[in-house]
């Protein structure tokens, strides 16, 4: 298993999308990139800790490679809005790739350069590529949030469409 740590808005959205892909063993919602230990949801949302909402994705590289995982990441969020995804605004919603080794950093930077050259978005990509800091798992009620709360309005109007977009774009990569 390998590890990817990604932030692209609400961690509920990322978790619900990534867990559908073949080769993904687990997705854990949490916090990374801040300057305090043991952050909690309230302090992260207050922007007092500097953390981003992220997911740690445990994946089997023989079934899904890191590049494909990053392609899915870029397909399900807007990497051109600084500290924002839709109506979710704040530094905790920043677009960030926390890399676990030099190979991941190179892969992320190469993909961002390719997406920029292909002008996929009309605005520049603002996704940061940084070495992985300490990851703090989020509170238990955030784990598997979409699966446990499918009728919650935020899940219906925000999380569900992102999970559906991943199913559409990566239909050939979904778990059986």
Distance (Å) of CA 55 to CA 25, 52, 139:
13, 10, 13
Q: How far apart are CA 39 and CA 135, in angstroms?
A: 10
Q: By the 8 A CB rule, do 26 and 172 touch? A: no
User: Does the annotation count 10 as an active-site position?
Assistant: yes
Contacts 24+ apart (CB under 8 A), 153-162: 154/12, 155/12, 155/16, 158/10, 158/13, 158/86, 158/88, 159/10, 159/12, 159/13, 159/16, 160/16, 162/13, 162/16, 162/17, 162/76, 162/77
Q: Which of 10, 13, 45, 155 is catalytic?
A: 10
Which residues does the annotation mark as catalytic? 10
């Amino acid at each position: 298993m390998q590890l990817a740590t990604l932030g692209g808005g609400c961690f509920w959205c990322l978790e619900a999308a990534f867990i559908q892909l073949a080769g993904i063993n687990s997705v854990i919602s949490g916090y990374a990139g801040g300057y305090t230990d043991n952050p909690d949801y309230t302090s992260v949302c207050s922007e007092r800790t500097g953390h981003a909402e992220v997911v740690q994705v445990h994946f089997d590289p023989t079934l899904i490679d890191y590049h494909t995982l990053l392609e899915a990441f870029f397909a399900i969020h807007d990497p051109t809005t600084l500290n924002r995804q839709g109506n979710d605004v704040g530094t905790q919603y920043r677009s960030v790739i926390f890399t676990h080794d030099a190979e991941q950093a190179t892969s992320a930077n190469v993909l961002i350069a390719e997406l920029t050259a292909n002008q996929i978005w009309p605005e520049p990509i603002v996704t940061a590529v940084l070495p992985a800091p300490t990851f703090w798992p989020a509170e238990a009620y955030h784990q598997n949030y979409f699966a446990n709360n499918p009728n919650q309005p935020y899940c219906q109007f925000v999380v569900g469409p992102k999970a559906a977009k991943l199913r559409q774009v990566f239909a050939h990569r979904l778990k059986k």
